[in-house]
Structure 1
Amino acid sequence: MPKDLAARLDDRLRAKRESFDKIPVVDIAPLLDGSNKQRVAKEIRWALMNTGFMYVKNHGIPQDFVDSVFEVSRRFFDLPTWQKMALHIGKSDVALRGYIEPFGENTDPGKTKDLKECFDIGPECSTVEGPFFGPNQWPSSLPEFRELTYGYHQRMVDLAKKLLKGIALSLDLTESYFESLTRNPISIQRLLHYPPQSGYIGEDIIGIGAHTDYGNLTVLAQDDVGGLQVMNRDRIWVEGMPIYGTFIINIGDLIQRLTNDVYLANMHRVVNTSGRERYSIPFFIDADFNASIEPLPSCVTNSNPARYRPVTCGQHKFGRFAVSYTHLSKA
């Protein structure tokens, strides 16, 4: 890399390189095939209590299929700006489907502008039914885009529901606990592109600002570039380096609420100083729009009294999105 392209990070953006056991790797095959669900549940509990993040391997999604979605994502972001803007998320009203230009969404707006571009899809609907539910927008110049990305969304829904069974078991609940909350869940399949940054990089402009995710669960596929940073309990940023063949799983605000802070929805951000384009594919699954989330009785004790009032999933999530998109200010 030429010296003039080398990034010089503000000290507040430096991440400590830790061994991967700081973000544990969980083999979920025994959960999926039923051979040892409780062992996996125990590992999930440790991960979500201590880091809020984990890598999962042996998840059942073929790597060549994941690679094909990365490839079509790159091709989409290589399209001319006018073609991408024709699919702008603002045209989807409250359904929140389509393209988001650089700086078009800011997750930490008081501190950071997000140097990223995105494309969002969700469950296919014929008309706008309300927040997060409506028709997807599709690029006509990439006919394979729809089949690949929507097929990926559907596989992620299936995988996420299996992971939620493991989380339920980790909380000593029946594995079917989340089924009543996820009959028609809010879900977002996002494609992300992070341009590289060079020169001096401060907190005002980075790939994505520090945030927690809003819903239940995130399933993230990373390319090999790196840049994800996760804050540990000592408030040190730790690199979430890519591990081939794994997904990174993290929980969001709703699981932290449900567990009364027993499980941690951890702060994370992206700083791309690699000198390369970075692509990632996060999938977000929440609960049904009107599902009520409140602390589990088993997570409320004399030493840990209830910290949250009940909130509906849709109310919480839409409130978080409303501060990020200007077109929602009148919604």
Structure 2
Amino acid sequence: MSKDIIAKLDDKLRAKRESFDKLPVVDIAPLIDGSNKQRVAKEIRWALSNTGFMYVKNHGIPQDFVDSVFNVSRRFFDLAMSQKMTLHISKSDVAFRGYVEPFGENTDPSKTKDLKECFDIGPERSTLEGPFLGPNQWPSSLPEFRELTYGYHQKMLSLAKILLSGVALSLDLTEGYFENLMRDPISVQRLLHYPSQSGYVREEIIGIGAHTDYGSLAILAQDDVGGLQVMNRDGDWVDGVPINGTFVINIGDLIQRLTNDVYLANMHRVVNISGRERYSIPFFIDADFNATIEPLASCVTDSNPLRYKPITCGEHKLGRFAASYAHLAKV
């Protein structure tokens, strides 16, 4: 590799290369099979109260299926820009389904332009029912794309509900606590492509700017390229090194609000200077659009007073979208 294409990072973009001992790998098999749910819940509590992130293994999703979704994702992003733009997210109105071009969404718009492209799907609807609930858009030139990506969405939805049952147990709630907030939840299955950057890379343009996720929980499948960075409690950026056979799990704003900051929706970003294209597949689960999120009484104490007013899931998520999407600024 010639020296002129090797990226040089601005100091603000440097991450410490740590072993992630503080972000544990949690074996969730005992949660899935019921053999030791409380042990898993205890590990989830440590992870989410200290880091907001964890890896999970023995999750039950076959690796060859995950690989097939990565393969079809790469094929989609290899299509001509003109083809991808026929599926632009703005064509879906407030359902927020379809393609987002580079710089079309910026998660930290005051500092960073996001050098990434995305494709979003969600629960199937025949007509537009309201924000985040409407028809998906599908590329006609990739007939297998729909079956694979929507099948993946459905598997992630099931896994997310299992993980949230573990989160509920970790908070000494009933295992089915989140079911009352998730009769018809907002969910987003996203495909992401990050070009590699070279030269002098500054915070103004990176893969995705620093942000917290908007909803309840995210399940991330990442390839072996790397680039995920997570902020630790000391304010240092730490590399989220890919671990084969795991998903990266993190919570979003809604769980932080629900727990009155007992659990941490942590800042994270992507900086890809690998010299390779990076692909990832995050799934986001929220709550029902009109579900009210307010701090649990058990999380409000004299030493941790009430920090949040009640808010609906839809109100919060729409506000975050409006600040991030370029096409919404024109509405």
Pick the TM interval, shorter chain.
Answer: over 0.9
Number of aligned residue pairs: 331
Say whether residues 1:239 and 2:239 are aligned partners. Answer: yes
Kindly report which structure 2 residues correspond to 1:162-311, keeping only aligned pairs within 5 A, or say none.
162-311=162-311
CA contact (8 A) 2:104 2:327 kept: no
Aligned to 1:9: 9
Return the letter of the residue paired with 1:111. K
Say which SS state the counterpart of residue 48 (structure 1) adopts: helix
Aligned to 1:81: 81
Aligned to 1:130: 130
CA deviations 1:229-259 (Å, max 9, x no partner) are 0000000000000000000000000000000
The separation in 2 between residues aligned to 1:271 and 1:280, in whole angstroms, is 13
The separation in 2 between residues aligned to 1:100 and 1:330, in whole angstroms, is 15
Q: RMSD between aligned alpha carbons?
A: 0.7
Say which SS state the counterpart of residue 154 (structure 1) adopts: helix
The separation in 1 between residues aligned to 2:205 and 2:330, in whole angstroms, is 27
Aligned to 1:319: 319
Structure 1 outlier segments of 4+, above 3 Å? none
Say whether residues 1:112 and 2:142 are aligned partners. Answer: no
Say whether residues 1:20 and 2:1 are aligned partners. Answer: no
CA deviations 1:27-60 (Å, max 9, x no partner) are 0000000000000000000000000000000000
The separation in 2 between residues aligned to 1:330 and 1:206, in whole angstroms, is 24
Say whether residues 1:31 and 2:36 are aligned partners. Answer: no
Q: CA deviation at 1:330?
A: 6.2
Q: CA deviation at 1:21?
A: 1.5
Higher mean Cα deviation, 83-92 or 316-325?
Answer: 316-325
Kindly report which structure 2 residues correspond to 1:32-111, keeping only aligned pairs within 5 A, or say none.
32-111=32-111
CA contact (8 A) 2:300 2:306 kept: yes
Return the letter of the residue paired with 2:35. S
CA contact (8 A) 1:93 1:328 kept: no
Say which SS state the counterpart of residue 225 (structure 1) adopts: coil
Q: CA deviation at 1:324?
A: 1.7
Return the letter of the residue paired with 1:300. V
CA contact (8 A) 1:222 1:281 kept: yes
Return the letter of the residue paired with 1:112. T
Higher mean Cα deviation, 172-181 or 1-10?
Answer: 1-10
Higher mean Cα deviation, 20-29 or 287-296?
Answer: 20-29
Higher mean Cα deviation, 204-213 or 2-11?
Answer: 2-11
CA contact (8 A) 1:23 1:240 kept: no
CA contact (8 A) 2:51 2:233 kept: yes
The separation in 2 between residues aligned to 1:111 and 1:148, in whole angstroms, is 35
Q: CA deviation at 1:63?
A: 0.2
Give the fraction of aligned pairs with identical amino acids, expressed as a percent. Answer: 83
The separation in 2 between residues aligned to 1:19 and 1:125, in whole angstroms, is 43
CA contact (8 A) 2:28 2:59 kept: yes
CA deviations 1:115-147 (Å, max 9, x no partner) are 000000000001111110000000000000000
TM-score, length basis structure 1: 0.99
The separation in 2 between residues aligned to 1:279 and 1:329, in whole angstroms, is 27
For structure 2, the residue ranges without an aligned partner over 5 or more in a row are none
The separation in 1 between residues aligned to 2:208 and 2:267, in whole angstroms, is 11
Return the letter of the residue paired with 1:223. D
The separation in 2 between residues aligned to 1:117 and 1:30, in whole angstroms, is 37
The separation in 2 between residues aligned to 1:133 and 1:73, in whole angstroms, is 23
For structure 1, the residue ranges without an aligned partner over 5 or more in a row are none
Aligned to 2:142: 142
CA deviations 1:70-107 (Å, max 9, x no partner) are 00000000000000000000000100000000000000
The separation in 1 between residues aligned to 2:5 and 2:127, in whole angstroms, is 46
